[in-house]
Structure 1
Amino acid sequence: MPIPTQSNSSTDPSSTADFLITTKKKSLALFGLSLGYFMVLLDTTIVTVALPAIHTDMGGHFTSLEWVVNAYTVLFASLLLSMGSLSDRYGAKRIFGGGLILFAITSAFSSAASSLELLIVLRGLLGIGGAAMTSASLALLASIYQDPKERTKALGVFASISGVALAAGPVMGGMLVDWFGWRSIFMVNIPIAVLSLFLIVLNASETQRNTDRTLDLTGQLTATLFFLTLTFALVEGGSLGWSSLSVITAITVAIISLLLFAVVEARSKSPMLPVQLLRRRSISAGLAAGLAVNFGLSGCLFVLTFFFQQSQGYSALLTGLAFLPLTLPMMINPMITSRIVNRVGVRLPMICGFFLTSIGTIMLTISNGDFYWLLFVGLFLIGYGLSLTIPPLVTSIVTASPPGHAGVASGALNSIRQLGAALGVAVLSLCMNVGSAHAESAAGFNSALMISAFVLAGGGVITFLFISRKPS
């Protein structure tokens, strides 16, 4: 009687080969996604250290330089949630690839921009491409890694990219500006985008399309109008005057747009931001805390760039290196913070992080650039505090979300953080009066940073009062 043979997939050469091929394709797809995400995040910081060089080359009022930063962040913030809907409807791979192509082409045109106004428009288009890539990337990653354990590891790799991009942005920007000129900071995007697109096309499959998912067009229009008009009022208020017709009109339109957005979302069958999410205390408080985080971070990066280069005489490269005490902890510490959160919950690390960041910002005002050890410690406390704050902030939002709404809630957090970045640049540069003699004085520098410290401390108070140890 013949003995039946048993097939063992662990020893079958063909099964092993298939497994290795599949694993390789997943790894290459993850690398492609990470490259694209790295490029998007890099573009939020690499431009900052190049702003003085752009101003020297193109001239213009310093409020125009704020728009070089804010055109990107405002459109990025306002389109994140809608791009998520488009990814569900048309496929995440298609939306991610479209965002990559737009990013690469616009980067090429940005490097050849002949005027500051054209550069601002192109930066807005970069923000649209960045929103498409960011929204589609997580959906694509979840489709590639369907095993929960594999997905967790992949998400860890993907999340670590943000710290690397934040640390690399100012240094890479400084090197490129000093060695090749400011236009090179846009050219560097092109090979990254091409390689990312190549890897995604060859190694990632399209996600399942949900044709029932509709785009909340009215909500999107009112949200974008609110972001743009509010930012316009804050950026232009100092130069045009707060009583000018343009600024008053912008503030009025911003208020009306916000009210219309609330009404539209409450009545919509497929809202961009479900109102019931905001009724959850931990989510609404988490969104307020997220706004405070990026207000302080982006505002400080913008103001310190001009302080280092205008007042202290640093080169672009030296400015990037000066930011390392802030950016390196944000690259290294999040993995440790995740372990702390697993033990003590989200509330305590967030409170400590906010107040450490606020203390670090106050220390910068004491140093005035004259005592580097104070400057070093202050920047380190800001970076370390942010690394304690951001991971549990994301966890608190996702944990507090009702079933099926975690993606929308995390998208809302990303949007509000980008809005905070735009507001931080607008408000702190207004306080410092960048570009005038006041900007080089201790008073202008200190007033801007004290506002930042106050907002960051406010984030700590909000966390203490409204976010529970384990949101539910």
Structure 2
Amino acid sequence: MDVAEPERRRILAATSVSYVVVILDTSIVNVALERLSAAFSAPIEGLQWVVNGYTVSFAALLLTGGRLGDRYGARNAYLAGLGLFTLASLLCACATGLFSLVAARVLQGIGAALLVPGSLKLIDHASPNAEKRARAIGLWAGCGAIAMAAGPVVGGILIDSLGWRSIFFVNVPIGAAGMAMTWRIAHDGPRVKAQPLDILGQVAAIIGLVGLIGVLIEAPAFGWTSPAILIGATVTLFACTLFVAIERRGDHPMLPVRLFRSAVFTGSVYVSCASAFVFYGLLFVLSLTFQQVRGWTAFETGLALLPMTTMVAAGSMLSAAIVKAIGSRRSLSAAFLVYPGGAFGLILAGTTTSYAYALPALLAIGFASGFISPAATAPALGTVEKERVGIAAGVLNAARQAGAAAGVAILGSQVTETITQTSGTNPALWLLAVVSVVTACIWWRMSG
């Protein structure tokens, strides 16, 4: 049954507000890294956990968050997620140490894993008409694109004027406003018949993902052959193997492995993961470089990142037209070849020359990132049945979050000891280029 227009507008307003906050948190925290390092005497490994505490919990619980929305109602899941996210933001702002900040960031990720799929389900239920639903989702995604573009600048202004805690305090009134609007929503849509949750699979996924990111972050400090890292790697391998076995044999798997029988779907998941690896890993590295090497303030760093994040929005808006003109196979492969071009441009520009030399590379990388996400989504969803579109979209989003966490862990670790040197970011940039070229080749083969 269709929903009245005033109700539809309330739903769209409430869900868009929450999505803006979630997307802001993926970019705004990077601008605060230097202040957090000074406040808590945190090494790069600690800063990586601040970023990844949020991203890892978001990625690991996203599929279960969507299922909980099906089971208990999208409105209830959305309210629970937004309430937890808002409370966790307050805890982040009040953190007295690095551990408490990372723990609060984990809670933020759990809240996001509930509210993001819940918000999409609310929009879907409120707009049975395909045209209205497409416009609503477009506006919802557009708000996220604006948040991504504005995040570094907004963060810089807040940090320089009110301190790093302000980037978390600002979430509290926004989250409260979103909850107040959601309370007025009467329509929740139909609930799916209760199915057993994949608890064992979820636990294995959490252990595997946390273990992998932990090993990647801590190995440079402990040493790759240290007992702690070897034990961590063993536990990670066991958890990942167990997860695959559970998902293949379980009656109600959180991740239906038959989705990966399609080479196009598998390639799209890998492409989504690799693009997030490159973009968010580079965002972490550049944020540190601009502040620690160039000595820029948080606001100056936000302005420096603005061209790149703005081009993410531009690439996203032009993606459909480009794919329609030349196809997803050629366009996605070409987009991944833009990444190494941008990386070489940043290598040539260095870390101490005029920012103008780095600007073209930043614009190119931002556009490629914005283009890839929607361009990889359409072919993947086109390979699954209509009733599995939701779970397929959840898999793609989880892959992006996992890729972002891995990018921060691996590319961030490349500059642990050398960031103060002129060529300190070069190892990360060379690795970025290699991953991008390999991904272009893989997609060309799997999509053919």
Residue by residue, what CA displacement relative to the aligned partner does 1:236-281 show, whole Å, maximum 9, x if unpaired?
Answer: 1011111111111111111111111111011111111111111210
Residue 345 of structure 1: how far off its partner (Å)? 2.8
1:199 is paired with a residue whose SS is: helix
Identity of aligned pairs, percent?
A: 34
Alignment correspondent of 1:443: 423
What letter is aligned with 1:30? Answer: L
**Is residue 397 of structure 1 aligned with residue 380 of structure 2?**
yes
Q: Within 1, Cα distance between the matches of 2:280 and 2:422?
A: 20
d(CA) in 1 for partners of 2:390 and 2:49? 29
Amino acid at match of 2:125: S
Kindly state the Cα deviation for residue 162 of structure 1 after the two structures are TM-superposed. Answer: 2.6
Aligned residue identity for 2:423: A
Q: Which structure 2 residues correspond to residues 9-48 of structure 1 after superposition, within 5 A? A: 22-48=4-30
Q: Look up the match of 1:197.
A: 179
Deviation of the 1:429 alpha carbon: 1.4
Task: For 2:390 and 2:347, locate their aligned partners in 1 and report how far apart those are by CA, in whole Å.
Answer: 39
Distance of 1:347 and 1:398 partners within structure 2: 15
Specify the SS of the correspondent of 1:242. coil
Q: Over the residues paired in the alignment, what is the CA RMSD in angstroms? A: 1.4
Shift of 1:454: 1.5
CA distance 1:111–1:150, change in 2 (3 Å): same
Question: Match of 2:332, as an amino acid?
Answer: M
Structure 2 CA distance, aligned partners of 1:204 and 1:39?
A: 23
- What does the per-residue CA deviation read over 1:16-73, in whole Å, with 9 as the maximum and x for residues that have no partner? xxx9x92122112101101101111111111111011011111133211110011111
| Counterpart mapping for 1:71-470 below 5 A | 71-369=53-351, 370-433=353-416, 436=417, 438-468=418-448
Rounded to whole Å, the distance in 1 between the matches of 2:334 and 2:306 is 21
Q: Deviations over 1:333-362 (max 9, x none)?
A: 322221222343322221221111221122
Conserved? CA contact 2:339–2:432, under 8 Å: no
TM-score by structure 2 length? 0.97
CA distance in 1, matches of 2:272, 2:106: 22
User: What is the aligned residue count?
Assistant: 446
Between stretches 342-351 and 390-399, larger displacement belongs to 342-351
Contact map agreement 2:23 2:147 (CA 8 A) in 1: yes
In 1: Cα distance, 2:87 partner to 2:25 partner: 14
Runs of 4+ displaced beyond 4 Å: none
Aligned partners of 1:132 and 1:229: how far apart in 2? 22
In the alignment, the residues of structure 2 paired with residue 212 and residue 25 of structure 1 have an alpha-carbon distance, to the nearest angstrom, of 27
Q: Whole-Å Cα distance in 2 between the matches of residues 24 and 344 of structure 1?
A: 40
Q: CA deviation at 1:396?
A: 1.5
Matches of 1:445 and 1:61 in 2, distance apart?
17
- CA shift digits 1:276-314 (9 cap, x unpaired): 111210111111111110110111000001110011111
User: Is 2:50 the partner of 1:68?
Assistant: yes
What SS class does the counterpart of residue 203 from structure 1 fall into?
coil
- Deviation string for 1:153-202 (max 9, x for gaps)? 11111121231121111111111110100000001101111111111221
Q: Which whole-Å deviations, capped at 9, do the CAs of 1:340-393 have from their partners, x for residues lacking one? A: 223433222212211112211221111003142320000000011122211111
Deviates further, 363-372 or 232-241? 363-372
Contact between 1:347 and 1:467, CA under 8 Å: does it hold in 2?
yes
**Cα distance in structure 2, aligned partners of 1:339 and 1:178:** 40
| Whole-angstrom distance in 2 between the partners of 1:183 and 1:81 | 30
User: Do the aligned partners of 1:350 and 1:390 also contact (CA within 8 Å) in 2?
Assistant: no
Question: Could you tell me how far 1:204 is from its partner in structure 2?
Answer: 4.7
Distance in 1 between the 2:49 and 2:68 partners?
27
1:395 counterpart letter in structure 2: A
What 5-or-longer segments of structure 2 have no aligned partner? none
1:211 Cα deviation from its structure 2 partner: 3.2
The residue type paired with residue 388 of structure 2 is H
Task: Tell whether the 8 Å contact from 1:357 to 1:384 is kept in structure 2 after alignment.
Answer: no
Give the counterpart letter for 2:129 in structure 1: D
2:237 aligns to what SS in structure 1? helix
Q: Deviations along 1:381-437, whole A, 9 cap, x unmatched?
A: 00111222111111121112234221111111111111111111111111111xx4x
In structure 2, the residue corresponding to 1:444 is in which secondary structure?
Answer: coil
More moved, 449-458 vs 411-420: 449-458
- SS of 1:441 mapped into structure 2: coil
C-alpha displacement of 1:207: 2.4
